Structure 1
């Protein structure tokens, strides 16, 4: 058993949590052969963190936490492996179409390339069970933990390689709120009782998109939108619509684009959960909120692609410049590399 991490009090990851996860990466990397061992280990640790976040919010079955231990023991007694149980926890995220890209071969998740040893996998599983803090807790200011800011931040913080290679620098929630105040509120004044169109062309893991979803949900369902950060007047006078109509407007109007496939996949999962949580809170989704039970129609349009090339190059040139991105058939499109012709609606 390792050192227990103090309880978390904010949506950003604490230094003890980051250090503990980086230590788990080192342990897993030592058990994996090949030059990509550290990157593969980092992918497994991040996926375990994303799984723990989903599990702590009741979205997926208990596998990593204490209540999941009897099922894990039964799985091992039936001939399963510790690494296999860890893989099942990751696979739980793919039960909804919005989560499947996390394991789609074209998205390049390195957990598909190799697995940790039994002892390393057991150590990571035991750490999540015995020592890791819950990732679901009350927050006094800023986003609720179900918006996924913590796992969204972890993707860039666990390895220098990902942060440097993809220039991944997430906007703090208060910066996102300030920008959205200055853009959504004026737009709501000018374009009343319609679907507001918004795109984040470099959306990262979805910080800006998640906060935008909450703001336009407030506007659509209450007819009002008040600023979250800026000292400015809000907007009133919209005609409130039912939750299902508000969700459809959000899906039709809030879009994102991201160059790195896995980063985009995390954003897509977070925005899906955010919309579903709002629907659930409004009584439009009955029963406990489970990822497997979220309607498949709740799939935000977050495309993988280079937004700097949108509308500037041909499909053939785009495929030459960005082959990995061009191979992906983005949600709501019929061909890979849709950004070569611009994002379509």
Structure 2
């Protein structure tokens, strides 16, 4: 009779008691390490707790923490069942990566840990690994995920490869077929815990595929999973961070040196990834990445150098077929200035002047409207190959509208199903996406627009009929201010000393409040630039002087910069005092623009376009970013733009029917409560 989880708990307790009997001075920490040593002695277990690099040896925990950890996982219900029972007759392990992501806020923040959902992984592998197997065969096939995390892409690839080997070579022994599949799979990640999970998951999958029943009976499978910084290791043989003083830094957990050549370029038939979307967390790293990757520009996100790396790793088309590259990534590069160089010099299909020399994008798929669990950032899927483009067109899936609600099963979401079921049907116009073979020239110019449902044609029509664009009349674009200490400056309402001392304040607008052509929500922010000297020592400011003067910006405190400590850390005075601004939501699935008539403080999530003080003589300008007509003389009210179709909105703006000239010039009321 099979022994269940309860029997396993009893055996674990008995083994622990026997350990203490033999070692009376030992603690639970010693007991756990003894268990790790036992695991490391097994052929299949050693890679899981590598004595040279595993964090279980280099990041020891206290005895008290060990006690709490053991007690947590041994908790039982009143009926004696384990609360946390991970037994699974199917040996499923995908939950481990999700569990680690959800439990470790540190990992999520430090490593931008974000698991790729199974349905997304399967879709991308279907566009890359499947055709690669058909083109190159199984023997010698190589796949890599240079930002593999806990191995979602790697597990999906392993399942496909073992199935393909079983079909192609049924006479080969199971264990040998499993090892051949493992030899095709490569992964790198900076997070040692994520790599440990990936190794464990592949071990369990290999044991299951080989028909082995226990870990003790498993052979020493070979893995190609390395711990280290892919962006550095691909170009720097030392795979370490140059601190600028001739010294190189490497974490004890990193083992990239032991996998020589794993990040060498021009070798992989398949490259897949869901790279981090954040900006480089360290200034030194940011500068080093910029020196190593030509596409890094301005305040770039890590998705930029990873984009370059993915195509570097793939096989070139020299004398044979080029490798396949697939990724899901943040779409921020499409619209933000840091993506201009990436788009026009690297993804345009022309000679790049870097490695690789050409990039052939075959698919650009807007997934920003799909519900993808854990992905709050709008995303796009890109498929391509490092070769000269073979076609003058790119298959584009353009967004029409977002998911109407959160689906119970994300893979069955209306937007995602519309994408998957119609990807191979150019000319399709559906309720959620449009599919078209777009001219490659369209995506050789920054910024990209992936709006479907006729939006591109409408934009072209508007711009063709407009004599002036917003770019010709805008003085500058950016955010208004960074307070440096929002907890002090920003208030929900005027209360306490702020109220009875009549401290000047202005509306404080954040991106999430800019919706549906109006500012739907705002707070108040103290305005230190209107505070007279007599009130600088008032109850509203003076008690907080130490905290305010401790704010570091550009490496200096306010006093060191020659400012009063009550001022903002950064302010753009022309924008701060302007009553002619167009603000927009920096992060949103749809465009949201508002013409303001009163000075306010708009933070980084609600940047502004500053219009000149004197109104242009033209009747209509066009915003090339939002594809929406903007009237410098009269802005469109919310009622006109939200209730009218785009063409009707254009007509009304041109005729002046929605003019706000009758609104009070120095009032925010029309923003908070647009006329209906």
1:97-176 → structure 2 map (5 Å cutoff): 99-100=46-47, 102=49, 104=51, 106-109=53-56, 112-117=59-64, 120=68, 123-124=71-72, 126-127=74-75, 131-137=82-88, 144=90, 146-176=91-121
- Check conservation: 1:63, 1:69, Cα contact below 8 A: no
SS at match of 2:144: strand
CA distance in 2, matches of 1:267, 1:103: 13
Match of 1:258 among 182, 185, 189: 189
CA distance in 1, matches of 2:205, 2:219: 13
CA distance in 2, matches of 1:65, 1:343: 50
- Check conservation: 1:83, 1:122, Cα contact below 8 A: no
Counterparts in 2 of 1:115 and 1:293: CA distance versus 1, 3 Å: farther
Match of 1:74 among 8, 18, 39: 18
2:217 aligned residue: 293
SS at match of 2:250: helix
Q: Offset at 1:100? A: 4.3
Q: Establish whether residue 197 from structure 1 lines up as the match of residue 122 from structure 2.
A: no
Q: Offset at 1:91? A: 4.2
- Check conservation: 1:170, 1:207, Cα contact below 8 A: yes
SS at match of 1:113: coil
Per-residue deviation, residues 218-250 of structure 1 (Å, max 9, x unmatched): 011123xxxxxxxxxxxxxxx545124422321
Q: Offset at 1:257? A: 1.1
Counterparts in 2 of 1:149 and 1:208: CA distance versus 1, 3 Å: same
1:85 aligned residue: 31
Q: Offset at 1:294? A: 1.9
| Number of equivalences | 254
- Check conservation: 2:40, 2:51, Cα contact below 8 A: no
1:275 aligned residue: 206
Q: TM-score, normalised by structure 1?
A: 0.61
Counterparts in 2 of 1:176 and 1:131: CA distance versus 1, 3 Å: same
CA distance in 2, matches of 1:317, 1:133: 39
CA distance in 1, matches of 2:57, 2:202: 23
Counterparts in 2 of 1:161 and 1:57: CA distance versus 1, 3 Å: farther
- Of residues 246-255 and 212-221 in structure 1, the stretch that sits farther from structure 2 once superposed is 246-255
SS at match of 2:122: helix
CA distance in 2, matches of 1:175, 1:104: 35
Q: Offset at 1:178? A: 1.9
Counterparts in 2 of 1:136 and 1:150: CA distance versus 1, 3 Å: same
1:308-323 → structure 2 map (5 Å cutoff): 308-312=231-235, 314-316=236-238, 318-320=240-242, 323=249
Larger Rg, first or second structure (1 or 2): 2
1:24 aligned residue: none
SS at match of 2:226: strand
SS at match of 1:204: coil
- Check conservation: 1:63, 1:71, Cα contact below 8 A: no
1:240-255 → structure 2 map (5 Å cutoff): 240-242=170-172, 243-255=174-186
- Check conservation: 2:48, 2:200, Cα contact below 8 A: no
Counterparts in 2 of 1:121 and 1:191: CA distance versus 1, 3 Å: closer
- Check conservation: 1:258, 1:305, Cα contact below 8 A: yes
SS at match of 1:127: coil
CA distance in 2, matches of 1:81, 1:317: 37
Per-residue deviation, residues 14-69 of structure 1 (Å, max 9, x unmatched): xxxxxxxxxxxxxxxxxxxxxxxxxxxxxxxxxxxxxxxxxx999xxx99723323
- Of residues 200-209 and 87-96 in structure 1, the stretch that sits farther from structure 2 once superposed is 87-96
Q: Which has the higher strand share?
A: 2
- Of residues 93-102 and 240-249 in structure 1, the stretch that sits farther from structure 2 once superposed is 93-102
1:183 aligned residue: 128
Q: TM-score, normalised by structure 2?
A: 0.33
RMSD: 3.7
CA distance in 1, matches of 2:115, 2:195: 13
1:302 aligned residue: 225
Q: Offset at 1:187? A: 1.6
CA distance in 2, matches of 1:252, 1:130: 40
Q: Which has the higher helix share?
A: 1
Counterparts in 2 of 1:93 and 1:211: CA distance versus 1, 3 Å: farther
Per-residue deviation, residues 270-324 of structure 1 (Å, max 9, x unmatched): 21221222112xxxx5xx322x33212x121011222223443x33574526732
SS at match of 2:242: helix
CA distance in 2, matches of 1:92, 1:274: 21
CA distance in 1, matches of 2:134, 2:224: 25
- Identify which of structures 1 and 2 has the higher relative contact order when contacts are C-alpha pairs closer than 8 Å and 6+ apart: 1
Q: Offset at 1:75? A: 2.8
Counterparts in 2 of 1:246 and 1:103: CA distance versus 1, 3 Å: closer
